[in-house]
Amino acid sequence: MEDEMPKTLYIGNLSRDVTEALILQLFSQIRPCKNCKMIMDTAGNDPYCFVKFHEHRHGAAVLAAKNGRKIMGKDVKVNQATTPSGQKKDTSNHFRVFVGDLSPEIATEDIKTALTPFGRISDACVVKDMAMGKSRPYGFVSFFNKWDAENAIQQMGGQWLGERQTRTNWATPKPPAPKTSYESNTKQLSYDEVVSQPRPRNCAVYCGGVTLGLTGQLMHRNFFYFFFFPFG
């Protein structure tokens, strides 16, 4: 289906001398490009970029023509970009399977092909390290049906895919960031709640009109100063 073909490409392993204009010039010789966004890694890794096309078939043609070709002396890596933010599928209610211990050569299409016999797949991806331009040794496959996902986990675990045996399990959601002790023990009070508290407990001072960036630590330091030096 055309929707499964690449419309945005990831181009990695680029020379630091490569520019957006050069990429557009080279790729437009094959098919017309819509735009190019170069990402310069401040950590010292090679830059990479994303090129967007007007049509899915144009991206597929460039992917086939340019992957592994040299640009300014380096063999560039061209892959289908992981789902763009504006086009991300909503698979939150689907059944997600973790596929680990993958060989470096295994791509998204490989795990999708391997797990397709178990049922209808809504999404699949091998996780990319965009900075390094390489695949990480794991990916995810989402199924519409829970039974299909369970079947895939049971039967694909330990099966050979490429040069390694796969490891499968349910994908666990990323846990939320833990709250600080201050956040977990302190209730946010409104102005009316502070004022209406009984006098023996009303030791709080309401401060309004504060600017962005003002921290609790800074307020504590200033109020501490006025408590001990009330007359400046």
Please give the CATH architecture assigned to the domain spanning 88-170.
Answer: 2-Layer Sandwich (3.30)
- Per-residue pLDDT tens for 28-78? 999 999 999 888 765 567 788 889 998 888 888 888 888 888 999 998 988
Token pair for 10 = 């990831």
Token pair for 93 = 């209610």
Distance (Å, whole) CA 113 – CA 98: 15
Give the CATH class of 2-85.
Answer: alpha beta
List Cα–Cα distances, 60 to 52, 80, 118, 153, in angstroms.
11, 8, 27, 31
C-beta atoms surrounding 112 within 10 Å: 17
Give the model's pLDDT for residue 193. Answer: 57
- Per-residue pLDDT tens for 85-130? 444 555 667 899 999 999 888 888 889 888 988 888 888 889 887 6
Provide the CA 125 distance to its chain's centre, in angstroms: 12
SS3 49: strand
pTM of structure: 0.41
Provide mean pLDDT across the span 175-185.
Answer: 51
Token pair for 91 = 């698979």
**Residues of CATH 3.30.70.330 domain(s) within the chain?**
2-85, 88-170
Distance (Å, whole) CA 61 – CA 35: 16
Provide the CA 55 distance to its chain's centre, in angstroms: 24
